[in-house]
Amino acid sequence: MTGRITGIFNIMATPFDSQLQVDWESLRSLVEFQLDKGAYGLTILGVLGEAAKLKVDERRQVVDTVMQTVAGRVPIVVGVSHPDTQTVIALSQAAFDSGAAGVMIAPPRMNEPTDDKVIALYSEIAESIYQPIVVQDFPPVNGVIMSPDLLAALVERIPNIRHLKLEDPPLMEKISAVCQRTDKYEIFGGLGGMFLLEELNRGAAGTMTGFAFTEILVAVFKAYSAGDRAEAERIFDHYLPLIRYENQPVINLSIRKEMLRRRGAIANAALREPFAPIDAGTHAEIDWVFKRVGIEDPTRKLTF
């Protein structure tokens, strides 16, 4: 596997069929869809990839299917978070054996989490794997608050930690706080891409998010990286209503899967329990927001 972990990584949804079994054909289709839209890499089995709803064997098969479909064209980061540390290690080793460029790990829920406990956890994992670890900082999932000091301590002490997926608001202030303490991280934002421009301005290396219109974020990133901030702002501001609408709390994944279905990337927008369904009004609002940003046919790749 070649390629740096940087730029716009799409966090893949996990498609299910009408019987809520993993839809392997749609998974392969979704991979090709994201690569066609210019994703710099893929992150699979993240929180909004419904990893926690999959059995360990299903997770392994998702990894193998994605790796075989990508066939080395872009780097893949595999989410391997799990309450059991030995399972995290086993999933990490399997991911790297399949060709992953890195694994993404969030601490599990802990009784009275402390900095020492978090450092001990990542240290134990790093003793068993030597490849890149992406630290996932997303407190709503696990209740673990990782301060800028703790995050800096992790990257300074553990050589294969060099990437941080930061989704702990206020995002931009925390990016700056981490960068003030260490220059060893490549930091990625998230939260649907809602703050991509501001994150880049604070020093982020890109974003990892499942936003259904990957090509928009890619266009913003390329313009910004080329020094054309006016063009980056133009594209981002034009499509911000769509970015904002998709990332609604509670129903964001339901909207995202419906948008991916409308784009022809997956056959079914089904989610496994627990999830919040979207109503008829939301379906109509998706059409409305498409019209407002000028998307006449969501199956077509956008041009800028």
Say what the pLDDT of residue 48 is.
Answer: 86
Q: Which of 36, 35, 39, 90 is nearest to 63 (CA)?
A: 90
> pLDDT tens digit string along 134-183?
999 999 989 999 999 999 999 999 999 999 999 999 999 999 999 999 99
| 302 located within any domain | no
Handedness of CA 36, 67, 221, 194 (dihedral sign): positive
CATH code for the domain of 182: 3.20.20.70
> pLDDT tens digit string along 195-222?
999 999 999 999 999 999 999 999 999 9
- pLDDT above 90: percentage of residues in the chain: 97
- Integer Cα distance of 289 and 258 in angstroms: 14
Q: Which of 201, 189, 196, 237 is nearest to 218 (CA)?
A: 196
Say what the pLDDT of residue 117 is.
Answer: 96
pLDDT at 3 over 90: no
Say what the pLDDT of residue 1 is.
Answer: 42
Q: Residue 298 corresponds to which tokens in the numbers above?
A: 């969501």
| 129 located within any domain | yes
What's the start-to-end Cα distance of the chain, in Å? Answer: 30
pLDDT at 276 over 70: yes
Q: What is the full DSSP assignment across the chain? A: --S-S-EEEEE----B-TTSSB-HHHHHHHHHHHHHTT-SEEEES-GGGTGGGS-HHHHHHHHHHHHHHHTTSS-EEEE---SSHHHHHHHHHHHHHHT-SEEEE-PPP-SS--HHHHHHHHHHHHTT--S-EEEEE-HHHH-----HHHHHHHHHH-TTEEEEEE--SSHHHHHHHHHHH-S-PEEEE-GGGTTHHHHHHTT--EEEE--S-HHHHHHHHHHHHTT-HHHHHHHHHHHHHHHHHHT-TTTHHHHHHHHHHHTTS-S----PSS-----HHHHHHHHHHHHHHT-S-TTSPP--
Phi first, then psi: give them for residue 277, nearest 5 degrees. -75, 165
pLDDT at 2 over 70: no
Identify the residue whose tokens are 């989610």. 271
Q: Give how many domains the chain has, as a whole number.
A: 1
pLDDT at 226 over 50: yes
Q: Residue 197 corresponds to which tokens in the numbers above?
A: 């421009």
pLDDT at 37 over 90: yes
Mean pLDDT across the stretch 249-266? 97
What are the angstrom distances between the C-alpha of 205 and each of 8, 140, 290?
9, 23, 29
Residue 35 structural domain: 7-293
157 — alpha (psi -120 to 50), left (phi > 0) or beta? alpha
pLDDT at 41 over 50: yes
* Mean model confidence pLDDT for the chain: 96
pLDDT at 42 over 70: yes
> pLDDT tens digit string along 95-128?
999 999 999 999 999 999 999 999 999 999 999 9
Mean pLDDT across the stretch 277-288? 98
| 299 located within any domain | no
| 168 located within any domain | yes
